Amino acid sequence: MTHGNQAEPVSKKMLWTGRIVSALPVLMLLFSAAMKLAKPTMVVDEFTRLGWTENLAVALGIVELACTIVYVIPQTAVLGAILLTGYLGGATATHVRIGEGFLAPVIFGVLVWLGLHLRDRRLRALIPLRSSH
């Protein structure tokens, strides 16, 4: 039962479900950032195909890594989710611009917020998914 603006505490089941859901985009983003920092031939070729210059790979990898780190720290997770939403929005726009499917970055963005919603009672209080009435 909640009173006023207080949110229900996070159950262990909900917390672990949120952590698992959050881990999916985190692992993908960490892998993606590492690939951008390492710049193997396939990453350089993909940047060219997407219409980006190769010299942006490292900078984007650093931004991706920084946003992901901010997201995994509980005290800054909401800010991290906001930053990742912007980053993944850019990825979505890039794929839309060249006429490609764009569901992957959208799905990862949804998983970022769903995982956070499940593990953070403050976010559930701010954005309830169901009415208390």
Q: What is the pLDDT of residues 60-102, one digit of tens each?
A: 999 999 999 999 999 999 999 999 999 999 999 999 999 999 9
* Distance of alpha carbon 104 from alpha carbon 102, whole angstroms: 6
**Does pTM top 0.85 for this prediction?**
yes
- For 28-52, how does the pLDDT look when each residue is reduced to its tens digit (9 = 90+)? 999 999 999 999 999 999 999 999 9
Domain map (residue ranges) of the chain: 12-126
Structure tokens of 90?
């850019």
